[in-house]
Amino acid sequence: MNNPLLQAKNIIKTYNEDKIRTNVLKGVNIDIYSNELTAIVGKSGSGKSTLLHILGTLDKADSGEIIYKGEELLKLSDKKKAAFRNIHLGFVYQFHHLLSDFSALENVMMPMLIAGINKNDAKQRALELLEKVALSEKADSRPSELSGGQRQRVAIARALANNPELILADEPTGNLDEKNAQMVFSLFEKLVKEDKIAVVIVTHDNSLSEKCDRVYTMKDGIIHE
């Protein structure tokens, strides 16, 4: 079997708020493979989002290791972590977080412009990505002019902007009806199969998680495959 793209080892995370300690992750181990669609499931409050943020270096663990292609990420400086995220990762959330004053096309161009790609190249690639998510005809529409499923597909196109190797998606279909949820899920399946991108999806929807290649369940601070 091939090596994991990303490995989390013995991740421990505790929140301290108002003198209340919440032991959210009590030694979590997880392996993420390229060419696989991985699901993380579990009850509300079980720590799925916390884990996803730690995997994506957006949040710090108290202890443990995150190893990406053999490199230990938690030791990197904040600046290096930000560069790592920009180069390797794409994030998709339950709420699309698109910029309301910009068109679909401009939203998809944004991460490329931030990464220093020139405007013409960014536009060309953004058009290709919108075509990939079947939204070419909505390139000039603002988020408010799109349906929930369409917005989520723009958010996925944006997550793909810098050619990530790994997409971390936190309940990307949580806000969608069944038909749109299925459409967004199929898109993730396609990214895994055709583009060899690793996708991790947190979901409450069993009909989706059972179609994933690997399913992890969070319970009582521990994860089970």
Ligand X SMILES: Nc1ncnc2c1ncn2[C@@H]1O[C@H](COP(=O)(O)OP(=O)(O)OP(=O)(O)O)[C@@H](O)[C@H]1O
- Told to check if 150 binds Mg ion by CB under 5 A, we report no
Given ligand X, Mg ion, none, residue 173, with its beta carbon under 5 to 8 Å by kind, binds: none
Tally Cβ neighbours within 10 Å of residue 99.
Answer: 13
Burial (CB count within 10 angstroms: exposed 0-12, middle 13-18, buried 19+), residue 164: buried
Stretch that binds Mg ion, among 21-29, 44-52, 97-105, 175-183 (CB under 5 A): 44-52
Pick from ligand X, Mg ion, none: which does 111 bind, CB < 5 to 8 A by kind? none
Residue closer to ligand X (CB basis): 80 or 224: 224
- Judge residue 179's burial from the number of C-beta atoms within 10 Å of its C-beta, 0-12 exposed, 13-18 middle, 19 or more buried: exposed
| Minimum CB distance to ligand X, residue 211 (Å) | 20
Residue of 7, 38, 46, 57 that binds ligand X (CB under 6 A): 46
- Does residue number 203 form part of the binding site for Mg ion (CB under 5 A)? no
Asked if 221 touches ligand X (CB under 6 A), the answer is no
* In the complex, minimum distance from the CB of residue 151 to Mg ion, in angstroms, rounded to a whole number: 19
- The residue from 7, 38, 46, 49 that contacts Mg ion (CB under 5 A) is 49
194 binds, among ligand X, Mg ion, none (CB under 5 to 8 A by kind): none
Residue pair 5/167 in contact by the 8 Å Cβ criterion: no
Question: 1-20: which residues touch ligand X (CB under 6 A)?
Answer: 15, 17
Say whether residue 209 binds Mg ion (CB under 5 A). Answer: no
- Mode of pairing for the β-strands spanning 71-72 and 63-68: antiparallel
Closest CA to 167 of 157, 177, 154, 181: 157
Number of residues binding to Mg ion, judged by CB under 5 A: 1
Question: ∠91-97-99 over CA atoms, to 5°?
Answer: 120
User: C-beta of 156: minimal distance to Mg ion in Å?
Assistant: 18
User: Distance from CA of residue 146 to its chain's centroid?
Assistant: 21
Q: Which two tokens stand for residue 182?
A: 């299925």
By CB under 5 A, residue 50 contacts Mg ion: no
As measured in angstroms, the least distance from the Cβ of 17 to ligand X is: 4
Give the residue from 167, 191, 198, 189 showing the smallest Cα distance to 92.
167
Q: Does 47 bind ligand X (CB under 6 A)?
A: yes
* Cα(155)–Cα(92) distance, integer angstroms: 6
Enumerate binding residues for ligand X (CB under 6 A): 15, 17, 22, 24, 42, 44-50
Residues in contact with Mg ion by CB under 5 A are 49
